[in-house]
Amino acid sequence: LVEKVFSGKIPATFGNLFKLTTLDLSKHNLFGDLPFELSGLPNLQLIALQENMILGDVPEGFSSLSGLRYVNLSSNSLSGHITATFGFLRSLVVLSLSKNHVSRFIPPELGNCSDLQVLELRSNALTGPIPADFPRLPHLSLIDLGNNLEGEIPVLLGSKFNNPSAFAYNQDLCGKRLDRKCVDAGERSRRNKMILLIVVAASGVILLTLCCCFYILSLLRWRKRLKKGAAGEKKRSPTRASLEASGGRGSTDNGGPKLVMFNNKITLAETIEATRQFDEENVLSRTRYGLVFKACYNDGMVLSVRRLPNGSLDKNMFRKEVEFLGKVKHRNLTVLRGYYAGPPDLRLLVYDYMPNGNLATLLQEASHQDVHVLNWPMRHLIALGIARGLSFLHTSNIVHGDVKPQNVLFDAHFESHLSDFGLDPLTIATSAEASTSTSVGTLGYVSPEAVLTGETTKESDVYSYGIVLLELLTGKRPVMFTQDEDIVKWVKKQLQKRTRLA
């Protein structure tokens, strides 16, 4: 398309062009984030969007386009980092991300792109060494790595490219094709030890000086107090004594009870108004941990507010637990933004609002509509997101206990977020899900071992994730089967039938 014609954002509806092989919108006035839906175009081979004003992270979703051969996103305002999943693009010939704000290091997995011929990454904020696998790229003919790279240029790579400009502007890069010799490890270690010794000595001198100043200041204040004591202490007035007896301050909390927010301030009255007095019309979901309401505030902010059922922990224990949950943060988890604990036995948890519903609803829509509502690249990214969120919980020694599609929520970009974790210590389960919930987990998703022992573990979480994965692949709900057959047995039978036919 002719340059300098279009402006604005790239429409998300481009994700419906499933036969599209070439997308060339270079040298226009496009801005905003790249739509997530581009990652679901299975036939896309060429993406040329250079010389625009595109924002956001380097799109990880492109790694699911196995036929992609040409990617040029240079001269934009992309940030984030190049993910290791780009190594899956074995057919990639050209990758150009020059003149952006990409940071961190160059992933070694790019060495798996065996057809790569052109690699342009200059004028970014990349650091770290040049991956040692780059010399193994047989067709690499053009490379431009001008950033903040460091370390030695791989010998074979330096021999392959005679032009020093391929490695220029990297102040800490050394080796062949550059005039800078590499310092050996022993000399570098001695230099670092000398710098450390100087820093420690300077810090000691500064600390000693501060201690002396503090001592002299304390001595002067002590002498001043002695002089005032010798002159006699003035009697306090009745008004001053009355103020001190009453605590020294008046009533300043005129805004009503406030929610404890980790980033901003919201009052309880504003939250009650935002949920329309916890109206049924604002209910987003009903779980064993109470009702979740949509809260629309006057300033346009939208949040999700979970009202826990009666029988929750006392205020002090509740605050201790939710303060811990507020520190559990990951891009594939619903992050706790705040809470409220006050009379009469009211307990609220505040989360980001997820406008695109949950995985259960999405699977149900996909079963009644066109298959492209939930295509395979999208299913792949959803499965990855759930796995990453669950892995982070387990790394933090948190067992989820109820992994199921209803607890996988989607933000505005359809990125998956695992929800309803860490809530068991906060409340006693209600009968809201009596038809589908067991004492641990949910019927159809909970592992047999957890049902027998009455206790969920990291292993039972992995089992539940496997059931969700089977539902994501087959579109069949685990509760659809008879008592003698479950989804696992059904999938095994299908695989055995396919093996016999083969």
pLDDT tens digits for 37-88? 898 898 999 999 999 999 999 998 898 898 999 999 999 999 999 999 999 8
**Closest CA relative to residue 390, chosen from 413, 409, 418, 366:** 418
What is the rounded distance in angstroms from the CA atom of residue 29 to the CA atom of residue 59?
19
DSSP 437: B
Q: What pLDDT is stored for residue 474 in this prediction? A: 87
Specify if 488 maps to a domain.
Answer: yes
The CA-to-CA distance between both ends of the chain, in Å, stands at 47
**pLDDT tens-digit profile of 165-192?**
888 888 888 887 777 777 765 566 777 7
**Which of 402, 420, 424, 461 does the annotation list as catalytic?**
402
Same domain, residue pair 399 and 459: yes
pLDDT at 502 over 60: no
Domains in the chain, number: 3
Decide if 291 contacts 306 (C-beta within 8 A): yes
Specify if 196 maps to a domain.
Answer: no
Same domain, residue pair 30 and 105: yes
Residue whose entry in the numeric block shows the structure tokens 């270690």: 189
190: which residues sit within 8 A by CB, 6+ positions away?
Answer: none
In which band, very low, low, confident or very high, does the pLDDT at 444 lie, cut at 50, 70 and 90? Answer: confident
Same domain, residue pair 293 and 378: no
**pLDDT tens-digit profile of 349-362?**
999 999 999 999 98
Same domain, residue pair 298 and 335: yes
DSSP line for 289-323: TEEEEEEE-TTS-EEEEEEPPSS---HHHHHHHHH
Query: How many residues does the structure list for the chain?
Result: 502
**Which CATH number is 494's domain given?**
1.10.510.10
Decide if 78 contacts 55 (C-beta within 8 A): yes
- Structural domain for 373, as ranges: 359-418+438-501
DSSP-derived pairing of the beta strands 94-96 and 118-120: parallel
Tell me which of 169-183, 229-243, 297-311, 430-444 is least confident: 229-243
Specify if 292 maps to a domain.
Answer: yes
What is the rounded distance in angstroms from the CA atom of residue 271 to the CA atom of residue 274?
5
What is the rounded distance in angstroms from the CA atom of residue 176 to the CA atom of residue 28?
40
DSSP 79: B
Same domain, residue pair 295 and 379: no
Same domain, residue pair 46 and 109: yes
pLDDT at 116 over 80: yes
Tell me which of 36-50, 233-247, 276-290, 404-418 is least confident: 233-247
301: which residues sit within 8 A by CB, 6+ positions away?
Answer: none
Mean pLDDT in residue range 464-490? 84
Same domain, residue pair 442 and 363: yes
Specify if 462 maps to a domain.
Answer: yes
Specify if 249 maps to a domain.
Answer: no
Same domain, residue pair 341 and 373: no
Same domain, residue pair 74 and 138: yes
Which burial class, exposed, middle or buried, applies to 417 when counting CB atoms under 10 A from its CB (0-12, 13-18, 19+)? buried
Cα dihedral value 323, 328, 333, 335, nearest 10: 40
In which band, very low, low, confident or very high, does the pLDDT at 24 lie, cut at 50, 70 and 90? Answer: very high
In which band, very low, low, confident or very high, does the pLDDT at 289 lie, cut at 50, 70 and 90? Answer: confident
Same domain, residue pair 270 and 392: no
Specify if 76 maps to a domain.
Answer: yes
Last residue of a domain, one of 352, 383, 407: 352
pLDDT at 243 over 90: no
What is the share, in percent, of the chain residues with pLDDT greater than 90?
45
**Which CATH number is 302's domain given?**
3.30.200.20
**Which CATH number is 34's domain given?**
3.80.10.10
449: which residues sit within 8 A by CB, 6+ positions away?
Answer: 457, 459, 460, 463
Last residue of a domain, one of 133, 152, 174: 174
What is the rounded distance in angstroms from the CA atom of residue 137 to the CA atom of residue 156?
11
DSSP line for 192-239: HHHHHHHHHHHHHHHHHHHHHHHHHHHHHHHHHHHHHHHH-PPPPPHH
pLDDT at 423 over 60: yes
383 or 176, higher pLDDT:
383
pLDDT at 222 over 90: no
Q: Is 402 a catalytic residue?
A: yes
Same domain, residue pair 62 and 124: yes
pLDDT at 336 over 60: yes
What is residue 55's three-state secondary structure?
strand
146 or 438, higher pLDDT:
146
Same domain, residue pair 164 and 23: yes
Q: What pLDDT is stored for residue 223 in this prediction? A: 60
Mean pLDDT in residue range 23-28? 93
**pLDDT tens-digit profile of 247-281?**
333 333 445 566 777 666 788 889 999 999 999 99
Specify if 237 maps to a domain.
Answer: no
Residue whose entry in the numeric block shows the structure tokens 């690499």: 140
DSSP line for 27-48: SSEEEEEPPGGGGG-TT--EEE
Last residue of a domain, one of 320, 352, 384: 352
